[in-house]
Structure 1
Amino acid sequence: MVDLAFLLVTFFMLTTTLNKPKAMDLAMPDKNEQTHEQEPIAASRTMTLLLGDNNRLEWFIGVPGESLTPPTVSGYGKNDLRKVLIEQQQKIKGQTGKDMFVIIKPSDKSVYKNMVDALDEMHIANIQLYAIVDITPVEVDLLKRDHIY
């Protein structure tokens, strides 16, 4: 009986598939690589996402203080961030003929899940150009003003 039990255990261990880790590839620049001169990206095709507290974020087109759209508080998901990304990508592509560039700025109050959700939405909305950047004090004040910091 013991032999039969070990045979069954061995059989099920060898025939089951283990869960494979799910990970998203994130290309980061090499620290030793020389920086190349790049053409600056126009503020009219730059979207900034400020990740705040309580699973909320704030987004705007342009640069802080001179944004082309008013800062808007939103959530994550298909009816919030995804819808905004797709709409703004189409609008900017129609106006400029170029892709939108998204700057993701997590705050001290945002959680790791918020960052992963934002990156997932970039992938789902097919946004090819995005960067993760440190948040500035002016942007933290903007989050405080809208009570999401």
Structure 2
Amino acid sequence: MQNLPKKVRSKKLNTRVDLTAMVSVSFLLIIFFMIVGELSKPKAMNLDSPDLDCDDCLPAYVEENRSLTILLDQNDKIISYSGLVPIPIHTSKKMQYGKNGIRKELLEKNKMALEYSAKHGKPGRGLVVLIKPSKTSNYGNLVEILDELKIANIDTYNIDPEFTPEESKLLALR
């Protein structure tokens, strides 16, 4: 017989595809989109404010013994008072930033507010601070006051840029 050339057969390669990397990437994408979806949900707090149009409603104001108003003005000027401007519980004070200024005042007032609340059957209710930056105060002063509140462990505060006429006069006098 003749020597016929042998048929050369191609070697069959293994056609198995490893999908381990694809599964890992898909799980990472699923986790990523779950986290992004959760973080993108809007978060809001309820704001409780008194109804000024209701004559029969009792106002939900904070007791004057637990409140402190801080007025911020240009040139690092700070004025604080407790109660109402015409009849303050404590006279208004002009003070400076730092541990011997506003921080000392915040710590003392918070201690007094905690004692007052405990005496009246509502323990743990500390000082409520109303921060009023004027149009001439700078953003750094507001940040410094917020830092002082954090240091003094006061977590109940409100930032209100609206001044009453009495508060404007108080800033002008000091």
- If the length of structure 2 is used for normalisation, what is the TM-score? 0.61
Query: Residue 65 of structure 1 corresponds to which residue in structure 2?
Result: 86
Distance 2:65 2:150 in 1: 22
Distance 1:57 1:82 in 2: 12
Alpha-carbon offset, residue 67 of structure 1: 1.0
Q: Deviations over 1:16-36 (max 9, x none)?
A: xxxxxxxxxxxx966xx6857
The secondary structure found in structure 2 opposite 1:68 is: strand
Percentage of identical aligned residues: 32
1:117 counterpart = 2:144: yes
Query: Residue 3 of structure 1 corresponds to which residue in structure 2?
Result: none
Question: Which residue identity lines up with residue 87 of structure 2 in the other structure?
Answer: E
Closer, same or farther: CA 34–72 of 1 in aligned 2, 3 Å? closer
Closer, same or farther: CA 93–140 of 1 in aligned 2, 3 Å? same
Give the RMSD, CA atoms, in angstroms. 2.2
Query: Residue 135 of structure 1 corresponds to which residue in structure 2?
Result: 163
1:89 counterpart = 2:110: yes
The secondary structure found in structure 2 opposite 1:104 is: strand
- Greater relative CO, 1 or 2 (CA 8 Å, sep 6+): 1
Distance 1:44 1:123 in 2: 20
Q: Given that residues 80 and 93 in structure 2 are in contact (C-alpha distance below 8 angstroms), is that contact kept between their aligned partners in structure 1?
A: yes
Paired residues in the alignment total 117
Distance 2:85 2:109 in 1: 17
Query: Residue 10 of structure 1 corresponds to which residue in structure 2?
Result: none
Alpha-carbon offset, residue 40 of structure 1: 2.5
Alpha-carbon offset, residue 43 of structure 1: 1.4
Unaligned runs of 5+ in 2: 1-42, 51-58, 119-124
Alpha-carbon offset, residue 115 of structure 1: 0.4
Query: Residue 107 of structure 1 corresponds to which residue in structure 2?
Result: 134
Unaligned runs of 5+ in 1: 1-27
Q: Given that residues 71 and 78 in structure 2 are in contact (C-alpha distance below 8 angstroms), is that contact kept between their aligned partners in structure 1?
A: yes
Moved over 4 A (4+): 33-38
